[in-house]
Structure 1
Protein backbone atom coordinates (compact mmCIF):
# COMPACT_ATOMS: atom_id res chain seq x y z
CA UNK A 1 0.00 0.00 0.00
CA UNK A 2 1.07 3.59 -0.49
CA UNK A 3 1.77 5.97 2.39
CA UNK A 4 -1.08 6.27 4.86
CA UNK A 5 -2.17 9.52 6.46
CA UNK A 6 -3.81 9.22 9.87
CA UNK A 7 -7.06 11.10 10.29
CA UNK A 8 -7.89 13.00 13.44
CA UNK A 9 -10.20 10.51 15.12
CA UNK A 10 -8.99 8.58 18.17
CA UNK A 11 -8.79 4.77 17.83
CA UNK A 12 -11.70 4.24 20.22
CA UNK A 13 -13.97 6.64 18.32
CA UNK A 14 -17.28 5.14 17.25
CA UNK A 15 -19.45 7.09 14.86
CA UNK A 16 -23.06 7.29 15.91
CA UNK A 17 -25.34 6.91 12.92
CA UNK A 18 -29.00 6.42 12.26
CA UNK A 19 -29.53 3.49 9.90
CA UNK A 20 -31.52 4.16 6.75
CA UNK A 21 -34.96 2.57 6.35
CA UNK A 22 -33.53 -0.59 4.76
CA UNK A 23 -31.34 -1.15 7.83
CA UNK A 24 -33.87 -0.37 10.59
CA UNK A 25 -34.88 -3.97 11.25
CA UNK A 26 -31.23 -5.06 11.49
CA UNK A 27 -29.01 -2.14 12.52
CA UNK A 28 -25.30 -2.77 12.03
CA UNK A 29 -22.51 -1.07 13.90
CA UNK A 30 -18.92 -1.97 14.70
CA UNK A 31 -15.78 -0.21 15.95
CA UNK A 32 -13.65 1.43 13.27
CA UNK A 33 -10.39 1.56 15.23
CA UNK A 34 -7.80 4.03 14.01
CA UNK A 35 -8.93 5.67 10.76
CA UNK A 36 -6.30 6.14 8.06
CA UNK A 37 -6.36 6.98 4.36
CA UNK A 38 -3.97 6.92 1.45
CA UNK A 39 -2.89 10.24 -0.01
CA UNK A 40 -4.65 9.33 -3.27
CA UNK A 41 -7.94 8.62 -1.51
CA UNK A 42 -7.77 11.88 0.42
CA UNK A 43 -7.05 13.84 -2.76
CA UNK A 44 -9.88 12.16 -4.68
CA UNK A 45 -12.40 12.78 -1.91
CA UNK A 46 -11.30 16.42 -1.58
CA UNK A 47 -11.37 17.02 -5.35
CA UNK A 48 -14.87 15.55 -5.59
CA UNK A 49 -16.18 17.36 -2.49
CA UNK A 50 -16.98 14.13 -0.67
CA UNK A 51 -16.96 14.16 3.13
CA UNK A 52 -14.97 11.31 4.65
CA UNK A 53 -17.39 11.09 7.56
CA UNK A 54 -20.30 10.49 5.16
CA UNK A 55 -18.55 7.44 3.72
CA UNK A 56 -17.48 6.21 7.15
CA UNK A 57 -21.06 6.50 8.42
CA UNK A 58 -22.32 4.48 5.44
CA UNK A 59 -19.64 1.84 6.00
CA UNK A 60 -20.21 1.57 9.75
CA UNK A 61 -24.00 1.33 9.40
CA UNK A 62 -23.90 -1.58 6.95
CA UNK A 63 -24.28 0.24 3.62
CA UNK A 64 -21.51 -1.59 1.80
CA UNK A 65 -21.95 0.37 -1.43
CA UNK A 66 -21.35 -1.43 -4.72
CA UNK A 67 -19.93 -4.75 -3.52
CA UNK A 68 -21.01 -8.10 -4.98
CA UNK A 69 -23.76 -10.01 -3.20
CA UNK A 70 -21.24 -12.58 -1.88
CA UNK A 71 -19.13 -9.78 -0.39
CA UNK A 72 -22.26 -8.20 1.11
CA UNK A 73 -23.12 -11.49 2.83
CA UNK A 74 -19.48 -11.87 3.90
CA UNK A 75 -19.50 -8.38 5.43
CA UNK A 76 -22.70 -9.13 7.34
CA UNK A 77 -21.11 -12.31 8.69
CA UNK A 78 -17.86 -10.47 9.48
CA UNK A 79 -19.73 -7.95 11.61
CA UNK A 80 -21.03 -10.78 13.80
CA UNK A 81 -17.82 -12.82 13.88
CA UNK A 82 -15.03 -10.21 13.68
CA UNK A 83 -13.89 -10.68 10.09
CA UNK A 84 -12.53 -8.01 7.77
CA UNK A 85 -15.18 -5.69 6.28
CA UNK A 86 -14.88 -4.00 2.88
CA UNK A 87 -17.11 -1.35 1.33
CA UNK A 88 -16.84 0.10 -2.16
CA UNK A 89 -18.31 3.46 -3.16
CA UNK A 90 -18.45 5.16 -6.54
CA UNK A 91 -17.69 8.86 -6.27
CA UNK A 92 -19.36 11.27 -8.68
CA UNK A 93 -18.83 12.96 -11.07
CA UNK A 94 -15.80 10.98 -12.32
CA UNK A 95 -16.99 7.55 -11.10
CA UNK A 96 -13.85 7.07 -8.99
CA UNK A 97 -14.06 4.01 -6.73
CA UNK A 98 -13.10 4.37 -3.06
CA UNK A 99 -12.71 1.35 -0.83
CA UNK A 100 -13.07 1.32 2.95
CA UNK A 101 -11.58 -1.68 4.73
CA UNK A 102 -11.95 -2.39 8.45
CA UNK A 103 -9.48 -4.98 9.74
CA UNK A 104 -10.84 -8.14 11.36
CA UNK A 105 -9.55 -7.11 14.80
CA UNK A 106 -11.16 -3.63 14.38
CA UNK A 107 -7.83 -1.91 15.04
CA UNK A 108 -7.73 0.05 11.76
CA UNK A 109 -10.11 1.26 9.05
CA UNK A 110 -8.45 2.35 5.81
CA UNK A 111 -9.81 4.50 2.96
CA UNK A 112 -8.01 3.81 -0.30
CA UNK A 113 -8.36 3.71 -4.06
CA UNK A 114 -8.14 0.33 -5.82
CA UNK A 115 -4.85 1.45 -7.41
CA UNK A 116 -3.42 1.97 -3.91
CA UNK A 117 -3.90 -1.67 -2.97
Structure 2
Protein backbone atom coordinates (compact mmCIF):
# COMPACT_ATOMS: atom_id res chain seq x y z
CA UNK A 1 0.00 0.00 0.00
CA UNK A 2 1.31 3.45 -0.76
CA UNK A 3 1.92 5.76 2.10
CA UNK A 4 0.53 9.23 2.15
CA UNK A 5 1.64 12.22 4.11
CA UNK A 6 -0.16 12.09 7.42
CA UNK A 7 -2.89 14.65 7.68
CA UNK A 8 -5.45 14.73 10.46
CA UNK A 9 -8.92 13.54 9.56
CA UNK A 10 -11.42 16.36 9.87
CA UNK A 11 -14.67 14.42 10.14
CA UNK A 12 -18.22 15.57 9.63
CA UNK A 13 -19.31 12.71 11.94
CA UNK A 14 -17.75 10.22 14.35
CA UNK A 15 -16.06 7.25 12.67
CA UNK A 16 -15.73 4.98 15.70
CA UNK A 17 -13.17 2.18 15.37
CA UNK A 18 -11.86 1.65 11.84
CA UNK A 19 -11.82 -1.86 10.38
CA UNK A 20 -11.10 -3.37 6.98
CA UNK A 21 -11.79 -6.77 5.52
CA UNK A 22 -8.77 -8.75 4.27
CA UNK A 23 -10.12 -8.58 0.71
CA UNK A 24 -10.42 -4.79 0.89
CA UNK A 25 -6.85 -4.45 2.19
CA UNK A 26 -5.57 -6.68 -0.62
CA UNK A 27 -7.48 -4.68 -3.24
CA UNK A 28 -6.13 -1.39 -1.86
CA UNK A 29 -2.58 -2.71 -1.75
CA UNK A 30 -2.83 -4.00 -5.35
CA UNK A 31 -4.22 -0.64 -6.49
CA UNK A 32 -1.60 1.25 -4.46
CA UNK A 33 -4.30 3.28 -2.72
CA UNK A 34 -4.03 4.22 0.95
CA UNK A 35 -6.95 3.16 3.12
CA UNK A 36 -6.48 6.42 5.04
CA UNK A 37 -7.13 8.43 1.88
CA UNK A 38 -10.53 6.73 1.49
CA UNK A 39 -11.34 7.13 5.19
CA UNK A 40 -10.45 10.83 4.95
CA UNK A 41 -12.71 11.33 1.91
CA UNK A 42 -15.58 9.47 3.60
CA UNK A 43 -15.21 11.47 6.82
CA UNK A 44 -15.24 14.78 4.90
CA UNK A 45 -18.52 13.87 3.18
CA UNK A 46 -17.00 12.95 -0.19
CA UNK A 47 -19.10 9.85 -0.78
CA UNK A 48 -17.30 8.87 -3.99
CA UNK A 49 -19.37 7.25 -6.73
CA UNK A 50 -22.83 6.92 -5.19
CA UNK A 51 -26.08 7.79 -6.91
CA UNK A 52 -28.06 10.90 -6.02
CA UNK A 53 -30.50 8.95 -3.84
CA UNK A 54 -27.65 7.45 -1.76
CA UNK A 55 -26.02 10.88 -1.55
CA UNK A 56 -29.22 12.38 -0.08
CA UNK A 57 -29.57 9.41 2.28
CA UNK A 58 -26.03 10.03 3.56
CA UNK A 59 -26.85 13.66 4.40
CA UNK A 60 -30.02 12.51 6.18
CA UNK A 61 -27.97 9.82 7.94
CA UNK A 62 -25.60 12.47 9.28
CA UNK A 63 -28.54 14.42 10.69
CA UNK A 64 -30.53 11.47 12.07
CA UNK A 65 -27.85 8.97 13.09
CA UNK A 66 -28.25 6.38 10.33
CA UNK A 67 -25.68 4.28 8.44
CA UNK A 68 -23.41 6.19 6.02
CA UNK A 69 -22.11 4.57 2.80
CA UNK A 70 -19.37 5.68 0.43
CA UNK A 71 -18.24 3.86 -2.71
CA UNK A 72 -14.86 4.39 -4.36
CA UNK A 73 -13.57 2.99 -7.65
CA UNK A 74 -9.94 1.91 -7.53
CA UNK A 75 -7.53 2.25 -10.49
CA UNK A 76 -7.81 -1.54 -10.85
CA UNK A 77 -11.58 -1.15 -11.51
CA UNK A 78 -12.42 -2.81 -8.20
CA UNK A 79 -14.75 -0.96 -5.87
CA UNK A 80 -14.31 -0.38 -2.12
CA UNK A 81 -17.16 0.58 0.14
CA UNK A 82 -16.70 2.52 3.36
CA UNK A 83 -19.57 2.13 5.82
CA UNK A 84 -20.01 3.94 9.12
CA UNK A 85 -22.53 2.25 11.39
CA UNK A 86 -25.63 4.09 12.55
CA UNK A 87 -24.42 4.21 16.16
CA UNK A 88 -21.04 5.57 14.94
CA UNK A 89 -19.22 2.77 16.77
CA UNK A 90 -17.33 1.56 13.69
CA UNK A 91 -16.34 2.36 10.14
CA UNK A 92 -15.42 -0.52 7.84
CA UNK A 93 -13.69 -0.70 4.46
CA UNK A 94 -14.92 -3.66 2.46
CA UNK A 95 -15.56 -4.93 -1.04
CA UNK A 96 -19.22 -5.09 -2.12
CA UNK A 97 -19.01 -8.91 -2.15
CA UNK A 98 -17.87 -8.82 1.51
CA UNK A 99 -21.19 -7.27 2.52
TM normalised by structure 1 equals 0.75
Is 2:57 aligned against 1:74?
Answer: yes
Matches of 1:73 and 1:79, distance apart in 2: 10
Is 2:77 aligned against 1:95?
Answer: yes
Aligned-residue offset at 1:115: 1.1
Aligned-residue offset at 1:16: 2.8
Matches of 2:65 and 2:39, distance apart in 1: 18
Structure 1: gaps (5+ residues): 1-14, 18-27
- Secondary structure of the 1:104 match is coil
Q: CA RMSD in A?
A: 1.1
Aligned-residue offset at 1:89: 0.2
Tell me which residue corresponds to 1:110.
92
What is the aligned residue count?
92
Deviating runs (4+, > 4 A) in structure 1?
A: none
Tell me which residue corresponds to 2:47.
64
Aligned-residue offset at 1:60: 0.5
Task: Select the structure with the greater relative contact order (CA < 8 A; seq sep ≥ 6).
Answer: 2
- Which one has the bigger helix percentage? 2
